[in-house]
Amino acid sequence: MPKPLVSILMGSKSDWETMQHTDATLTQFGIDHESRVLSAHRTPKATTEFVTKAESRGVEVVIAAAGGAAHLAGVCAAHTTLPVLGVPMTSSLNGLDSLLSTVQMPGGIPVGTLGIGKAGATNAALLAAAILSLSRPGLKKKLQEYRRRQSDKILGEKLP
Ligand code: RP5
Q: Which atom of ligand 1 is nearest to the CA of 42?
A: 14
Report percent pLDDT > 70 for the chain.
100
**pLDDT for residue 29 is more than 80:** yes
Candidates 13, 14, 71, 116: which one to mutate for ligand 1, based on the most atoms within 8 Å of Cβ?
14
Of 67, 70, 36, 41, the C-alpha closest to 53 is: 36
| C-alpha 76 chain-centroid distance | 12
pLDDT in tens, 6-24: 999 999 999 999 999 999 9
Find the 77 Cα to ligand 1 centroid distance in Å: 19
Task: Read off φ and ψ for residue 150, nearest 5 degrees.
Answer: -65, -45
Q: How distant, in Å, are the alpha carbons of 46, 50, 103 from that of 9? A: 12, 10, 17
**pLDDT for residue 107 is more than 80:** yes
**pLDDT for residue 42 is more than 90:** yes
Of 87, 71, 61, the C-alpha closest to 6 is: 61
Residue 1 confidence (pLDDT) = 77
CA dihedral sign, ordered 120, 80, 53, 48: negative
Label residue 2 by pLDDT band (50, 70, 90).
confident
CA distance linking residue 121 with residue 123, whole number of Å:
6
Residue 16 confidence (pLDDT) = 98
pLDDT in tens, 125-137: 999 999 999 999 9
Find the 25 Cα to ligand 1 centroid distance in Å: 22
Indicate whether residue 47 lines ligand 1 (CB < 6 A): no
**pLDDT for residue 97 is more than 80:** yes
Nearest CA to ligand 1 atom 7: 67
Label residue 121 by pLDDT band (50, 70, 90).
very high
